[in-house]
Amino acid sequence: MKLEGKVALITGAGSGLGREASQLFASEGAKIAVVDIDPERAKGTVELVEQQGGSAIAVTADVRVEQQVVDAVAATVAAFGKLDIAWANAGIVSRGGVPSVAGGEQVEFQDLTDADWQDVIGVNLSGVFYTAKAAVPALRANGGGVILATSSAASFVAYHSIAAYSATKAGVNGMVRGLSLDLGKYGIRVNAIAPTHGMSPNFLAPAGAPVVGQSYEEVAGPWDPSVSPIPLKLNRPPSLKDNARAALFLVSDESAYISGVTLPTTDGGTLSRVAMMFPEDGNNPPPMVTGEE
């Protein structure tokens, strides 16, 4: 097993990718600290891990509050004796989200409040900073280890109506590069995954909504790759596990010399696109936009 004898702390593990990865990591031999702001969701993930024969504890913490993250790391070490992997996975979308996906009301950038800005920074950027900072002493005491963060495809390309979210995820990429340089001397690797597809609808759902356990694409109905915008055509939709498996690679010894990398995951060629797509046969190209009428 790829994580035999390892101890992993995962924030935002009460639903979505964090819940899926908790189960996957446990199946590979890791003991899991399931950290989430919602205690019931955290307990639900622990139950799923234990049902498959794994070992896990539930820890309630708000990653925006440094002391709560410090306490989560301490609880992990107290329960399992050490820490090998710290995954800063918790994240939220900026207010307004992606209206076409969430069915919510669009919020114009200029209408975002300072509270909106501080909230998305607090979870998506400060939460990564606090998790990494709290983990370093325990990882050093263990002779090294891995810090992983969840970034986003939105850190590389623009998505409509989530500029604040995109900014925080680009910040995560910069932090990963900087920390890999600073912490390598302690045997600590630092990487991130940047999912494009195969993520949970819970990300855009209100707090307390039922945990879906599937990706957007899986819950959308029968899968038809011919109408999917993903360039790679497969006979199944992208899933949470596709992203979790990439994370597993980055926290396992199989990636022992990878550090400072943000890896786009479950992308299927999406990020290879240019802004203007042309017909495959080269005929009847789309009109050029010149700015003149």
Active-site positions read 165
The secondary structure element, H or E, covering residue 177 is: helix 163-183
CB 19 within 8 A of CB 186: no
Contact between 229 and 270 (Cβ < 8 Å): yes
| 28 contacts: CB under 8 Å, gap ≥ 6 | 1, 2, 3, 4, 248, 252
- Say how far apart CA 5 and CA 23 lie, in whole Å: 15
Q: Which residue has the tokens 């950027």?
A: 125
Q: Are 180 and 189 in contact (CB under 8 A)?
A: yes
For 45-175, where are the E strands, in sequence order?
56-60, 85-88, 145-150
The two three-digit tokens of residue 108, written as one number: 């114009």
Residue corresponding to tokens 């979870």: 123
